[in-house]
Amino acid sequence: MKKILLKGGKLVSPRGIKKADILISGEKIVAVGRHIQTDATVVNVGGKLIFPGFVDPHTHFDFEVSDTVTADDFSSGTKSAVAGGVTTIVDFAAQKQGEMLSDALNNWHVKAFANSSCDYAFHMSITDWREDVKSELEGMFEQGVTSFKVYMIYDGMELNDREIYEIMQEVKKHGGIVGCHCENSGIIGKLREESIARGDTAPENHPKTRPDYTEAEAVRRFLTIAEAVGAPVIVVHLSTEAGYEEILRARQRGVKVYAETCPQYLLLDEDLYRKPFDESAKYICSPPLRKMHDRKALWQALKNNSLNLVSTDHCSFTVDQKRAGAEDFTKIPNGMPGVENRAVLMYSYGVKKNRITLQQMCAYLSENPAKLYGLYPQKGVVKVGSDADIVVFDPHGSGRITAASGHGKCGYDPFEGVRTEGGIDMVYLRGKLIYNAGEIVLENSGRYVSRKPPVL
Ligand code: URP
Ligand code: ZN
Ligand code: ZN
Band (38; pLDDT cuts 50, 70, 90): very high
Ligand lying closest to the C-alpha of residue 311: 3
Question: Is the C-beta atom of 333 inside 6 A of ligand 1?
Answer: no
**Could you tell me the distance, in angstroms and rounded to a whole number, from the CA of residue 174 to the centre of ligand 2?**
23
Band (227; pLDDT cuts 50, 70, 90): very high
Share of the chain above pLDDT 90, in %: 99
Ligand lying closest to the C-alpha of residue 316: 1
Question: Is the C-beta atom of 13 inside 6 A of ligand 1?
Answer: no
Q: Do 152 and 158 form a contact (C-beta atoms < 8 A)? A: yes
Q: What b/e string do you get for 266-285 counting C-beta neighbours within 10 Å, with b at 16 or more?
A: bbbebebbeeebeebbbbbb
Mean per-residue pLDDT, 206-210: 98
Mean per-residue pLDDT, 296-301: 99
What values do phi and psi take at 155, rounded to 5?
-55, 135
Q: Pick from 345, 335, 351: which is nearest to 400 by CA?
A: 345
Q: Pick from 342, 437, 284: which is nearest to 86 by CA?
A: 342
Question: Is the C-beta atom of 342 inside 6 A of ligand 1?
Answer: no
Residue 277 scores a pLDDT above 90: yes
- Work out which ligand 1 atom sits closest to the CA atom of 334: 1
pLDDT value, residue 265: 99
Question: Is the C-beta atom of 60 inside 6 A of ligand 1?
Answer: yes
pLDDT value, residue 294: 99
Cα separation, 212 vs 106, in Å, equals 37
SS3 434: strand
From 159, 286, 332, 339, the mutation candidate for ligand 1 (largest count of ligand atoms within 8 A of CB) is: 286
Share of the chain above pLDDT 70, in %: 100
> pLDDT tens digit string along 240-261?
999 999 999 999 999 999 999 9
Mean pLDDT, rounded, of the chain: 98
Q: Could you tell me where the DSSP H helices lie in 230-339?
A: 241-252, 263-267, 277-280, 292-303, 319-322
Residue 230 scores a pLDDT above 90: yes
Cα separation, 15 vs 17, in Å, equals 7
Question: Is the C-beta atom of 286 inside 6 A of ligand 1?
Answer: yes
Q: Do 235 and 257 form a contact (C-beta atoms < 8 A)? A: yes
Residue 280 scores a pLDDT above 90: yes
Is the bond into 288 cis (omega within 30 degrees of 0)? no
Q: SS3 for 312-356, per residue? A: CCECCCCHHHHHHHCCCHHHCCCCECCCCCHHHHHHHHHHCCCCC
- Work out which ligand 1 atom sits closest to the CA atom of 236: 9
Residue 456 scores a pLDDT above 90: no
C-alpha distances (whole Å) from 194 to each of 197, 208, 264 are 5, 11, 27
Residue 157 scores a pLDDT above 90: yes
pLDDT value, residue 330: 98
Mean per-residue pLDDT, 158-183: 98
Cα separation, 382 vs 13, in Å, equals 8
C-alpha distances (whole Å) from 245 to each of 223, 230, 238, 259, 261 are 12, 20, 11, 12, 14
Question: Is the C-beta atom of 181 inside 6 A of ligand 1?
Answer: yes
Cα separation, 175 vs 147, in Å, equals 9
> pLDDT tens digit string along 175-201?
999 999 999 999 999 999 999 999 999
Question: Is the C-beta atom of 11 inside 6 A of ligand 1?
Answer: no
End-to-end CA distance of the chain: 35
pLDDT value, residue 455: 85
Count Cβ atoms below 10 Å from residue 255 Cβ, excluding itself: 20
> pLDDT tens digit string along 342-376?
999 999 999 999 999 999 999 999 999 999 999 99
Question: Is the C-beta atom of 83 inside 6 A of ligand 1?
Answer: no
**Could you tell me the distance, in angstroms and rounded to a whole number, from the CA of residue 155 to the centre of ligand 2?**
13
